[in-house]
Amino acid sequence: MSDILRELLCVSEKAANIARACRQQEALFQLLIEEKKDGERNKKFAVDFKTLADVLVQEVIKQSMENKFPGLGKKIFGEESNEFTNDLGEKIILRLCPREEETAELLSKVLNGNKLASEALAKVVHQDVTFTDPTLDLIKINIPQDVLGIWVDPIDSTYQYIKGSADIKSNRGIFPSGLQCVTILIGVYDIQTGVPLMGVINQPFVSQDLSTLRWKGQCYWGLSYLGTNIHSLQPPISKQNSAMQSQLTDDTSSELEFSHRFSAVISTSEKEPIRAALSRVCGRRIFRAAGAGYKSLCVVQGLVDFYIFSEDTTFKWDSCAGHAILRAMGGGMIDLKECLERNPFTGLDLPQLVYHVENEGAAGVDRWANKGGLIAYRSRKQLETFLSLLIQHLAPVDTRT
């Protein structure tokens, strides 16, 4: 099973190389944007885009996994259509060809005959990439390939990728916007149960060399299967967080002792009732950031305790990778609406997100929306306390979406 995970890490790094290459030359990047069709558009945004980089990444992941693990490529799903229309009105199905020259020729049709751009992209697409992590060698378990499904978000936070801001300052390590919020997400799940099993989050734009303007990235991964949990990092816990964790005792005497213990990252579009309740629970430790994948990564990294989102505009490809990594770390990702409606005295387990069933009666991308919103967390104990406080401070609201 480490072979599949290792290959996913390699293709995520190849994908990061494509994303960086497409941003490196502004003239090239301007050629790569095509507006999404109605069925593909995220209703959260007035304007949504797909880029050739998005589609290239998705097709590279599909084809690479199919080459190494026959049959697996057909079980890779994502949000991007691989159909483009060029200036001549020709519809072109983008795919990864066996040879670099053939891929360049196909790309040239998409890019209206721009040979230099097509050859440059084809070179990156066909470049061999290796990924080394000694921890991968510790994975000895075997997961049957026929139970695996894969969700891919080739470039999450496409708007930030297109905008390309490189000079955004972080707030306690969390970037509100900019290229740092761009992630490549690959999540593997069990097609029978919908449980996330493996996750890869690749952050292509972490630090920039100011002399060459070239970017370096970082990759995070996790695996959780039948009691085996392994991941690429132990999230850092600050002295402040450690002190707060030590306060989690059964005999706390006042609500004030609970207040402002937790931190959360939210979307800039989060609804007022949730923001108001969070301010009572977290105080000033609420951070805003772009990109569902990046906000999940903030929890994985230990920069915040929770990522909370109450709307229905994230999707299975946004959450599966981060969910799998958090499971490997002892955390998870749950349905917010179901949590708010849950009776805490019934003893029911937390409603974890699942990835194998589409939403009944929905059309287009909404078939795979996380309809009840979500909460991502690292600690079950922290989550229970956080939820009880959040519910206390939430005025009765209409949770229908």
* Residue positions annotated with a catalytic role: 54, 79, 153, 155-156, 158, 318
Residues 6+ apart with CB under 8 A from 44: 269, 311, 313
CA–CA gap between residue 236 and residue 238 (Å, rounded): 6
109-118 per-residue burial string, b: 16 or more CB within 10 A, e: under 16: ebbeebeebb
Residue 119 has which token pair? 């050859």
Query: Treating both helix axes as pointing N-terminal to C-terminal, what angle do 115-125 and 52-68 enclose, rounded to 10 degrees?
Result: 40
Q: Tell me, what amino acid is at 239?
A: K
CA–CA gap between residue 206 and residue 381 (Å, rounded): 31
Q: Yes or no: say if 264 and 306 are a contact pair by the CB < 8 Å rule.
A: yes
Q: Where are the alpha helices (DSSP H) in 157-206?
A: 158-163
138-154 per-residue burial string, b: 16 or more CB within 10 A, e: under 16: ebeeebeeeebbbbbbb
280-299 per-residue burial string, b: 16 or more CB within 10 A, e: under 16: ebbeebbbbbbbbbbbbbbb
What are the angstrom distances between the C-alpha of 63 and each of 14, 53, 75, 151? 12, 15, 11, 14
Residue 193: strand, helix, or coil: coil
Nearest to 262 by CA among 300, 304, 234: 304
Residue 352 has which token pair? 């974890």
Nearest to 57 by CA among 223, 213, 183: 183
Q: Yes or no: say if 74 and 313 are a contact pair by the CB < 8 Å rule.
A: no
